[in-house]
Amino acid sequence: MVDEVNALIEQLEAQAGEDRDPETTPDIGIVMGSDSDLDVMAGSEEGRAGAYDAFVDELGFEEQTDYENPPESRYTFETFVVSAHRTPELMYAYAETAADRGIDVIIAGAGGKSADLPNMTASIAYPLPVIGVPVQEKSVDSVIGMPTGAPLVAVDAGKSFNAALSAAQILARENEELRDRLVEYHERLQADVGEISRDLHELGTPGFREQYE
DSSP string, 101-146: TT--EEEEEE-SS---HHHHHHHHHTTS-EEEEESSGGGHHHHH-P
First-to-last C-alpha distance (Å) of the chain: 48
What pLDDT does 150 receive? 87
pLDDT at 45 exceeding the cut of 80:
no
Query: How far, in Å, are 52, 76, 87, 144, 180 from residue 64 at the CA level?
Result: 12, 6, 23, 29, 22
Does the annotation list 37 as a binding residue? Answer: yes
Neighbours of 11 (CB within 10 A): 13
What pLDDT does 44 receive? 81
DSSP string, 44-113: -SSS-B-HHHIIIIIT--EE---SSS--SSSSEEEEEE--TTT-HHHHHHHHHHTTTTT--EEEEEE-SS
Does the annotation list 86 as a binding residue? Answer: yes
- pLDDT, one tens digit per residue, over 4-44 is 999 999 999 999 999 999 999 999 999 999 999 999 999 98
Q: Is 30 helix (H, G, I), strand (E, B) or coil?
A: strand
User: Model-level pTM?
Assistant: 0.93
Output the CA angle 172-177-180, nearest 5 degrees.
80
Does the annotation list 179 as a binding residue? Answer: no
Q: Average pLDDT of 88-116?
A: 95
Beta strands 105-110 and 130-134, pairing class? parallel
Q: How far apart are CA 146 and CA 17, in angstroms?
A: 31
Question: 190, 191, 179: which is closest to 59 by C-alpha?
Answer: 179
Q: Which of 52-66, 92-106, 136-150, 189-203 has the lowest mean pLDDT?
A: 136-150
